[in-house]
Amino acid sequence: MLLTYLPTSIIEIIAFIISLISLSDKRVGWYKNFIWYLAIVVIIENFALAIVFYWHQPNNYWIFNIFQPIQIGFISWLMYKITKPFFNSKWLIVSLAVISLIIFIAENYNTGFRNYAKITKTYFAIFAVVEALLFYYYFLKQESNISITRYPPFWIITGIFFFYFVSITSNLFYDTLSAINKTKTKPIRYTIFLILNIILYGCWSYAFIWKKKTATSFTQ
Amino acid sequence: MEEKDSYIVYTVIVASCIFFIVALFIFFYIRLFIERKKRFAEEKINMQQAFSQMLLQSQIETQEETIAQLGKELHDNVGQLLSSTKMLLGITERAIDNPPETLLTAEETISKAINELRNLSKSLSKEWLQQFDLIENLQAEIIRLNSSKIINIHFSHPEKLVIDKDRQMILFRILQESIQNTLKHADAKNIFIDFLFTKNSLQIVFKDDGKGFDTAAKANGIGIMNIKHRIKLLNGSIEWLSSSTNGTIINIGLPLNKPSNEEGNHRIS
Amino acid sequence: MKKATIGLVDDHQLFLKSLVLMLESFKNYEVVIEALNGKDLQEKLTAKTIVPDIMLIDVSMPVMNGIETAQWLSTNYPAMKLVALSMNNDEYAVIAMLKAGCCAYLLKDAHPNELENALKEIIEKGFYNSDASNINFRKLLANQVNEKPLLNEKEKEFLGLA
């Protein structure tokens, strides 16, 4: 059982280490915050694993629910930072984040804090995809031709886009999938999420490395 | 229940795959679009560069034509007047039994004038200059100018230049213009022109012992702009260093590319 | 001795006048035709019945230049002796004029004594080699070699036999 969940944790740890190596330089600016975010991700993930496999508690959703607002906040803030140079995204992103939080509170109120917040996750995924598509639109529209291989924000958004876009289906069918997982131990949802995590943190790590390269070479 | 479960599992997997493919498609589409945009921008820049290069070329060709025209006019019109005069002096000389010294001197002077005019018009004519290489042309120009005793030009050069004819021509005009600038403005007694070859460039150092000029103030003057345009056409570099005590130094750097086969053959024949 | 008749073609009026003056000062020449260019000369030659013995031709003229004029004259008046007269001593002009049928190439700023001498020699020998004009023969020969690097059939045959 542990082997099913461990790879995701390992990937997050790798991403955290890469961020630590690449983004500890002062010149990377606000990218530094990735280190904190990924540190929280790693702690939450391993704590969740410990709950189930060390303390043998059956339910660890509450810890992910604690993490949910942090995720909404950080991803929204990231979106704002990245889209700011291309279009006036402030109010759109703030209101989508607020809506997500309201949905989250409502969902917790209705189903309890110890349940998987699938509605929140689904809506927030849709919002994130919309924001990512808006970024792509304005990114293509602008005049200067930035090389995407060397442009970290593009890869950060691409990671988010893949992760949330594909995760929508698994979240929609969460109930059935988790039932199947319980009866037949077919961890379909975890497998999909593992792939999505690889894509997300792969894109981010790539962005971190380029950020370090460009940030340190520009100011030399 | 069994069937429904596996049905949902497959639906989720297929839907996730489709979503993934769609995301991938969007990603590759964006990449393609950006790459195309970049290529388009690059092509645009290349075209602009080619265009400005062409513009420069044609500007210089027009100048060259104007210079040639001027030379021809000078030669044909003034030259004809001078030769007519010389002929009339000759006739007069023959008509007088004992021609006075002054008449002979006048004839000699006119001959000199005609000769100088002929050489001048040659140094202005592209067709004439292109029969020789830069070193021969410069030497002829220097002999012509040194004979005036106004200036003394010292020229040190290699045996042979490996630059194609058109580039040599442009370089000749640059040096001609520089010499003219010195003659007109610098009050110099000497000019030193040195050709130095480095590994893959030709360095030309042009130095005079005149009174110098304010390089900043004259940076956009017609003469200097002309030279800059020509240097740009050669992909070379140029800088002016000037002071009232040490005169003016012009450093010219030209990248050397190996002569093409055609050029090589031409040289052998 | 009969006076030799001379024709002149030059687009510069002033020079033409001084040339006439000079030739008249030589006593034994008579200028019968003065033309401003080749075309003008063609018209004047067909209108007049006199054909001059010697024709002095300027190289650069408008409408019809010296080379064309010399070619036309050497085909239509083969007996006429053609002399090129020019401000220029560049070898292309020299070669072209000699090819077109001129038997001498004189510079306009030559001393009258040289001109008289030249005319005399042309009448007596049929040609005159100017030693005054500083023609760059090395360059000229180099260009000649350049122009025909290939041997013609006969030459090849000859080389084959040798």
Question: In chain C, where are the structural domains located?
Answer: 4-134
CB under 8 Å to C5, separation ≥6 — which residues? C29, C30, C31, C32, C50, C51, C52, C53, C54
Decide if pLDDT at B267 tops 60.
no
Q: Give B103-152 pLDDT, tens digit per residue.
A: 889 988 998 888 888 888 888 877 777 777 888 888 888 988 888 788 89
Give me the mean pLDDT over the A157-175 stretch.
90
A78 is a domain residue: yes
What's residue B194's pLDDT?
92
Nearest chain C Cα distance for residue B84, angstroms: 5
C chain contacts of residue B110, beta-carbon cutoff 8 Å: 109
Nearest chain A Cα distance for residue B1, angstroms: 10
Tell which of A173, A181, A189, A199 to mutate to test the B interface (max B CBs under 10 Å): A173
Q: Given C25, C60, C88, which is nearest B95 (Cβ)?
A: C25
What's residue B235's pLDDT?
85
* B16 reaches A (C-beta below 8 A): yes
Strands C4-9 and C54-58: parallel
Task: Assess contact for C82 and C70: CB atoms under 8 A.
Answer: yes
Nearest chain B Cα distance for residue C115, angstroms: 10
Between chains, do A169 and B15 touch, taking CB under 8 Å as contact? yes
Between chains, do A170 and B27 touch, taking CB under 8 Å as contact? no
The residues with which B190 forms a beta bridge, in sequence order, are B152
Q: How far apart are CA B114 and CA C87, in angstroms?
A: 9
CATH assignment of C4-134?
3.40.50.2300
Q: Given B80, B90, B95, which is nearest C111 (Cβ)?
A: B90
- Residue listed under structure tokens 């030279």: B227
C chain contacts of residue B88, beta-carbon cutoff 8 Å: 18, 21-22
Between chains, do A176 and B30 touch, taking CB under 8 Å as contact? no
* B139 reaches C (C-beta below 8 A): no
What's residue A124's pLDDT?
95
b (16+ CB within 10 A) / e for A83-114: beebeebeebbeebbeebbebbeebbeeeeee
The yes/no answer to whether this complex scores an ipTM above 0.90 is no
More confident residue, A120 or A5: A120
Between chains, do B91 and C15 touch, taking CB under 8 Å as contact? no
Q: Determine the 3-state secondary structure of B69 from DSSP.
A: helix
* B37 reaches A (C-beta below 8 A): yes
Q: Which of A114, A132, A135 is nearest to A124 (CA)?
A: A132
Q: Which of B39, B31, B21 is nearest to A140 (CA)?
A: B31
Q: Given B87, B114, B269, which is nearest C18 (Cβ)?
A: B87
Given a cut of 50, the residues of chain C with pLDDT beneath it are 132-134, 138, 145-151, 162
Task: Assess contact for B69 and B126: CB atoms under 8 A.
Answer: no
Between chains, do C109 and B128 touch, taking CB under 8 Å as contact? no
- pLDDT, averaged across chain A: 89
Of the pLDDT bands very low, low, confident and very high (cuts 50, 70, 90), residue A219 is very low
More confident residue, C95 or B249: B249
Most confident of A174-188, A196-210, C81-95: A196-210
With an 8 Å CB cutoff and a minimum of 3 pairs, decide whether chains A and C touch. no
A196 is a domain residue: yes
Q: Give B225-244 pLDDT, tens digit per residue.
A: 888 888 888 888 999 988 88
CB under 8 Å to B158, separation ≥6 — which residues? B135, B195, B197
* B22 reaches A (C-beta below 8 A): yes
* Minimum CA–CA partner of C107 in chain B: B83
Q: Given B84, B93, B95, which is nearest C18 (Cβ)?
A: B84
C-alpha B32 chain-centroid distance? 42
A chain contacts of residue B11, beta-carbon cutoff 8 Å: 173
Helices (H) and strands (E) in chain B, counts: 8, 5
Q: Given B9, B20, B38, which is nearest A180 (Cβ)?
A: B9
What's residue B185's pLDDT?
85
What's residue A41's pLDDT?
95
Q: Determine the 3-state secondary structure of C11 from DSSP.
A: coil
Q: Which of A63, A115, A72 is nearest to A94 (CA)?
A: A72
Q: Determine the 3-state secondary structure of C58 from DSSP.
A: strand
Task: Assess contact for B185 and B213: CB atoms under 8 A.
Answer: yes
A46 is a domain residue: no
Instruction: List residues in chain C touching B: CB distance below 8 A.
Output: 12, 14-15, 17-19, 21-22, 25, 60, 87-90, 108-109, 111-113, 139, 143, 145-146, 149
* A193 reaches B (C-beta below 8 A): no
Between chains, do B16 and A169 touch, taking CB under 8 Å as contact? yes
If one counts the domains in chain A, the total is 1
What's residue C152's pLDDT?
53
B chain contacts of residue A180, beta-carbon cutoff 8 Å: 5, 8-9
Identify the domain containing residue A136 by its residue range: 67-218
3-state secondary structure chain A: CHHHHHHHHHHHHHHHHHHHHHHCCHHHHHHHHHHHHHHHHHHHHHHHHHHHHCCCCCCCHHHHHHHHHHHHHHHHHHHHHHHCCCCCCHHHHHHHHHHHHHHHHHHHHHHCCCCCCHHHHHHHHHHHHHHHHHHHHHHHHCCCCCCHHHCHHHHHHHHHHHHHHHHHHHHHCHHHHHHHHHHHCCCHHHHHHHHHHHHHHHHHHHHHHHHHHHHHHHCC
Q: Determine the 3-state secondary structure of C22 from DSSP.
A: helix
3-state secondary structure A108-127: HHHHCCCCCCHHHHHHHHHH
Which residues 99-118 of B are in CB contact (within 8 Å) with C?
Answer: 107, 110-111, 114, 118
A53 is a domain residue: no
A72 is a domain residue: yes
A47 is a domain residue: no
- pLDDT, averaged across chain B: 83
Between chains, do B16 and A162 touch, taking CB under 8 Å as contact? no
* A122 reaches B (C-beta below 8 A): no
**Subunits close to B (at least 3 CB pairs below 8 A):** A, C
Q: How far apart are CA B64 and CA B124, in angstroms?
A: 8
Q: Give A96-125 pLDDT, tens digit per residue.
A: 999 999 999 999 999 888 888 889 999 999
Q: Given B5, B16, B26, which is nearest A192 (Cβ)?
A: B16
Task: Assess contact for A34 and A208: CB atoms under 8 A.
Answer: yes
Q: Which of B211, B81, A24, A66 is nearest to C17 (CA)?
A: B81
* B91 reaches C (C-beta below 8 A): yes
Decide if pLDDT at B260 tops 50.
no
Q: Determine the 3-state secondary structure of B137 from DSSP.
A: helix
What's residue A91's pLDDT?
93
Decide if pLDDT at B2 tops 80.
no
Strands B237-243 and B201-208: unpaired
With an 8 Å CB cutoff and a minimum of 3 pairs, decide whether chains A and B touch. yes
Q: Give B158-203 pLDDT, tens digit per residue.
A: 877 778 777 888 888 899 889 988 888 888 889 999 998 887 888 9
